[in-house]
Amino acid sequence: MRVKTTIKLLFLTLLIPVTVFAETPSDVVAELQHDWAIANYQLSGDEQIKAYEALIDRANAAVDSNPRSAEILVWNGIIKSAFAGVKGGVGALGLAKQAKKSLEASMKLDDKALNGSAYASLGTLYFKVPGWPLGFGNDKKAVQLLEKALEINPDGIDPNYFYADYLREKKDFENAEKYLLKAQKAAPRADRPVADSGRQQEILTALLEVREKLGRVGS
């Protein structure tokens, strides 16, 4: 009887680590967010490309394991979209199309996941990607999505920066400056210091360019 009890306890003990250390979707999202920030802002050249390739493999595996997680689908899309920008060339459009698919899938599950991040990322894709017949780019669709992102998260650093980026590309420098300043004043995210630091540097660079265009250098 003691032997059976001992074996049963040993079996239960072996199960505990699996239960305790099993990653939740929130854990996976946190890891993807952190590792994307490192790849995007702290690496360059071949190191950055290798990091992104590994990150995409992990993001795809995460979706396979959590197909109903809107948050993981958002990050799958963000990572592929960002890598498309890094990679450029012929392969970029394929990545952009994959990113679009993931972001749209996330929105079908929960369009407000991660403060509506899918809208901001998809909107950016629509104005960065070439239009027909090469790609799916569409400025009208981009504006609709970017404005929806701001409606959901009006004070967020990312939606304000992405909308400013669109306005800057369209040479609406007055309004671009307005949204860049709003992005610059966004509250820091305690769980995303690397991403915030990198984004703030992008905002500063964009502000300098916009103010130069407006004749406000040094202001």
Domain chopping of the chain, boundaries: 2-149, 154-219
The C-alpha atoms of residue 53 and residue 7 are separated, in whole angstroms, by: 44
Whether pLDDT at 10 is above 60: no
CA dihedral 128, 58, 75, 46 (to 10 degrees): -40
**Residue of 152, 166, 159 lying closest to 186 (CA atoms):** 159
pLDDT confidence of residue 209:
97
Q: The whole model's pTM is what?
A: 0.88
| Segment 181-197 mean pLDDT | 97
| Segment 51-72 mean pLDDT | 97
| Segment 129-154 mean pLDDT | 96
**Lowest pLDDT segment from 19-33, 88-102, 108-122:** 19-33
pLDDT confidence of residue 217:
74
Whether pLDDT at 28 is above 50: yes
| Segment 135-159 mean pLDDT | 98
- Gyration radius from the chain CA atoms: 21
If pLDDT is split at 50, 70 and 90, which confidence band does 216 have? Answer: confident
Q: Does domain 2-149 have CATH number 2.40.160.60?
A: no
If pLDDT is split at 50, 70 and 90, which confidence band does 11 have? Answer: very low
Tell me the average pLDDT of the chain: 91
